[in-house]
Structure 1
Amino acid sequence: LIGASGAVSGIIGAYVMLFPKARVWILLFMRLPLRIGAVWVLGGWLALQVVSLLMSSNDGEVQVAWWAHIGGFVAGFGLTFAIRRRLWLRMGDA
């Protein structure tokens, strides 16, 4: 099982840390457009990853994939939290 899903999950975690008040559009029931806080959407995504991990078989490859998503999110969120002041300073200079 090869992919970049852990890195993509890290970017998602960083986004939540940097833009906690962002709002995004989703399609509720594939029909109804709804604007909701990105924290809720991405928090729901993370919860889905955890539930999928808990419900997955004991197949090592499958569990590694779910752990990559969860670990990537946590790492992206945590590292961005640790360096957020530097990031905001750089973004202000641009």
Structure 2
Amino acid sequence: MEPIPLPSHIHYELLLQLLERQTMHAVNSKSGVQEQVQQLIITLRKALAQQKHLEETCERLQLPVDYRWSLNKLEENNPTSKDFLSLSQEQIGSQ
């Protein structure tokens, strides 16, 4: 069975940190915009929680999950298709 592709959790973390640390600070005095940013943060937290629930379901059903860093499909025989982090991990492991 082919693994189910899901976004890596770091995508959520990056967006949440950007919104909480930078965007919220930039709109601090603009109450209408601040409320929208807060709602976006809440929505992202809910999305991450829903994804974790899906992952737990997959685990119970013994369905493999493949965490993706990008939309590019990884091909084992083509190192140019691998993302930077995959290559970095391989290079670290071979040293």
TM-score normalised to structure 2 length: 0.42
Q: Which has the higher strand share?
A: 1
Q: Which has the higher helix share?
A: 1
Q: Report the structure number with the largest CA radius of gyration.
A: 2
